[in-house]
């Protein structure tokens, strides 16, 4: 039974309190929430001579947040509300606060101010627009400083630093979607994977801008990161900052890159862009994401010239693409060579003319497409986002194949294969089909890099390539089934699961299955099966090594023999 949503309130420094709005459920359908471990929306109150509220939560928490805020503080005493970013989801809470305390002055960046006036439909709002040099004196030594940290997803992003308490309020940076009672990050190694996943989903497509933000934040000398989501960062502040720099460098150093150009009126197109970008980066290809609403034309031109492929996404407003998208489209058509791979996506309410316009322009210009054009009506669902992620991976793999074909030499015969590679290839494994399910999303893959790892508890390891679709369903706590194939009866299943599947294609069409006790598909033609729960996973080069604990299993054919896979080289499956 799921716990109810609540607000956890604790002091974290003199005159400084955190209000953590918590849910143990998946908050909404966005790719960074896919681990389904709940989340916290962290807000902060500094109560000195003047009172400031930092980053009130979105509408999912409006009611419980306001109830707790009124119980602990008098809303009419709030002088300022600082916003690390502004979006429509946060607008419901902001409007309620403004009605409770019309004296409030909002503090945000200039792009945030423009968005805020539109969301609250109030041109006469009291707004302090900060560009980086401004400060805010609350009294009692709390002299706040502001650091703009824009990126394509949040062009209005703003961090706030309080030298008095040495707290940096980071909003989206350094967070993780993970709910629990722990406020600070004691024992932080246990949540490292959640932080990495959050970075890969949210920050990786903006690595260049994130790196610039880190340079700015280095000058603060902060001793605590007050994050927008998850635990506050004290004990792992230095290693997490170093990890962010390392992850940014890994993204920037990719040999192959994709230019992701988009605009997003209500956030839906941005969510789709994020899912596609996640699929691309999983496959070892870099993404340069640019929000056409704020990107400079020369910046767009440079990104398209550098990239091996480009993807453009747009909402449809009044039957048309936004002006900024039309400008970017002209730049792409005049800049991108016909050898570059193209992709188109978008979201819409009642029509999708903008998507059709971009697609037709690219087709008429002679570009090849890396995936079928993606059209999303209203908000994307969990299944839609998985489809987008797989489309991104397909796009990346097509780019890599094209680049390899241009640069590769003649195929190497077996007699020329290095002795070491031949030796590694002599390692054999059982042929199995791994199946998994989360909600409405199912996936499967053919595998033979499987080995028993422990007796007590009984456990096994599986090597999963990073670009595999099933990889996102195999994080700690997730369930899966290992279906072991039978020698002499394995070719049909092997061929079925060996073939390439399109994004969103049903892996189990034409295959007889039933539901295992853990809810995942079980192949009835298998020799045996074991049900597992992911306990841990480790990054190993181009694969993840997943350790799963066996919870149930059965031999379906007592006289059968396990099918195995013999290879000649250790350089491929």
C-alpha to C-alpha distance for 399 and 514, rounded to whole angstroms: 37
The pLDDT value given to residue 143? 97
Nearest to 44 by CA among 68, 17, 22: 17
157 contacts 132 by C-beta, under 8 angstroms: no
The pLDDT value given to residue 291? 95
| Cα–Cα distance list, 480 to 178, 330, 462, 471, 542 (Å) | 21, 47, 11, 11, 21
pLDDT digits (tens, 9 = 90+) for 189-211: 999 999 999 999 999 999 999 99
* Helix, coil or strand: residue 76: helix
Nearest 5°: the CA angle 345, 397, 264 is 20
The pLDDT value given to residue 508? 96
The pLDDT value given to residue 121? 87
Q: How many CB atoms lie within 10 A of CB 215?
A: 10
Q: pTM score > 0.75 for this model? A: yes
Average pLDDT value over all residues in the chain: 93
The pLDDT value given to residue 398? 93
The pLDDT value given to residue 1? 45
158 contacts 149 by C-beta, under 8 angstroms: yes
* Helix, coil or strand: residue 224: strand
C-alpha to C-alpha distance for 570 and 541, rounded to whole angstroms: 15
C-alpha to C-alpha distance for 193 and 174, rounded to whole angstroms: 13
Q: How do the residues of the chain divide into helix, strand and coil, expressed in percent and rounded to 5?
A: 35, 30, 35
The pLDDT value given to residue 267? 86
The pLDDT value given to residue 351? 83
Low-confidence residues in the chain, pLDDT < 70: 1-2, 406-417
The dihedral sign for the CA sequence 559, 563, 566, 571: negative
pLDDT digits (tens, 9 = 90+) for 66-83: 999 999 999 899 999 999
Domains of the chain are 6-250 (3.60.15.10), 254-407 (3.40.50.360), 417-565 (2.30.110.10)
């Amino acid at each position: 039974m799921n716990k109810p949503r609540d607000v956890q309130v604790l002091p974290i420094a003199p005159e400084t309190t955190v209000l953590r709005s918590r849910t143990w459920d998946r908050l909404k359908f966005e790719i960074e929430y896919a681990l389904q471990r709940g989340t916290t929306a962290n807000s902060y109150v500094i109560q000195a001579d003047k009172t400031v509220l930092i980053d009130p939560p979105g509408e999912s928490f409006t009611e419980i947040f306001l109830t707790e805020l009124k119980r602990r503080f008098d809303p009419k005493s709030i002088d300022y509300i600082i916003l690390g970013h502004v979006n429509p989801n946060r607008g419901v809470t902001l409007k309620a606060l403004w009605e409770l305390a019309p004296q409030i002055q909002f503090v945000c960046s200039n792009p945030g101010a423009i968005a805020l006036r539109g969301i609250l439909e109030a041109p006469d709002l009291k707004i302090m627009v900060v560009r980086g040099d401004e400060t805010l004196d609350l009294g009692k030594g709390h002299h706040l400083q502001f650091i703009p940290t824009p990126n394509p997803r949040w062009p209005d992003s703003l961090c706030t630093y309080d030298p008095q308490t040495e707290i940096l309020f980071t909003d989206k940076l350094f967070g993780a979607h993970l709910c629990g009672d722990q406020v600070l990050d004691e024992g932080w190694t246990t949540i490292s994977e959640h932080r990495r996943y959050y970075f890969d989903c949210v920050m990786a497509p903006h690595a260049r801008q994130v790196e610039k933000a880190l340079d700015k934040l280095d000058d603060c000398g902060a001793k605590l990161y007050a994050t927008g989501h998850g635990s506050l960062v004290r004990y792992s502040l230095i290693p997490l900052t170093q990890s962010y720099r390392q992850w940014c460098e890994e993204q920037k150093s990719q040999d192959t890159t994709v230019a992701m150009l988009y605009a997003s009126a209500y956030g839906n197109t941005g969510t789709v862009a994020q899912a596609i970008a996640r699929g691309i980066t999983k496959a070892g290809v870099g993404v340069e994401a640019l929000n056409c609403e704020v990107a400079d034309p020369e910046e767009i031109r440079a990104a398209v010239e550098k990239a091996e492929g480009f993807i453009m996404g747009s909402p449809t407003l009044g039957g048309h693409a936004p002006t900024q998208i039309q400008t970017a489209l002209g730049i792409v058509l005049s800049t991108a060579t016909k050898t570059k791979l193209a992709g188109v996506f978008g979201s819409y309410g009642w029509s999708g003319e903008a998507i059709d316009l971009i697609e037709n322009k690219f087709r008429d210009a002679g570009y090849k497409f890396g995936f079928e054009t993606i059209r999303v009506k209203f908000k994307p669902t969990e299944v839609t986002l998985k489809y987008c992620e797989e489309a991104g991976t397909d796009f990346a793999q097509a780019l890599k194949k094209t680049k390899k074909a241009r640069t590769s030499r003649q195929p190497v015969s077996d007699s020329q294969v290095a002795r070491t590679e031949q030796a590694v290839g002599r390692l054999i494994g059982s042929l199995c089909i791994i199946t998994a399910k989360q909600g409405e999303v199912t996936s499967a893959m053919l595998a033979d890099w499987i080995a028993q790892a422990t007796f007590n508890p009984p456990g096994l390891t599986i090597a999963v390539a990073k670009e595999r679709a099933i990889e996102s369903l195999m994080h700690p706590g997730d369930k899966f089934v290992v279906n072991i194939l039978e020698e002499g009866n394995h070719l049909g299943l092997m061929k079925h699961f060996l073939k390439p599947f399109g994004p969103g294609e049903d892996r189990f069409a034409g295959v007889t299955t039933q539901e295992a006790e853990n809810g995942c598909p079980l192949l009835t033609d298998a020799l045996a099966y074991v049900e597992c729960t992911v306990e841990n996973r480790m990054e190993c080069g181009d694969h993840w090594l997943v350790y799963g604990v066996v919870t149930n299993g059965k031999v379906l054919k007592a006289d059968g023999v396990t099918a195995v896979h013999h290879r000649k080289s250790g350089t491929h499956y």
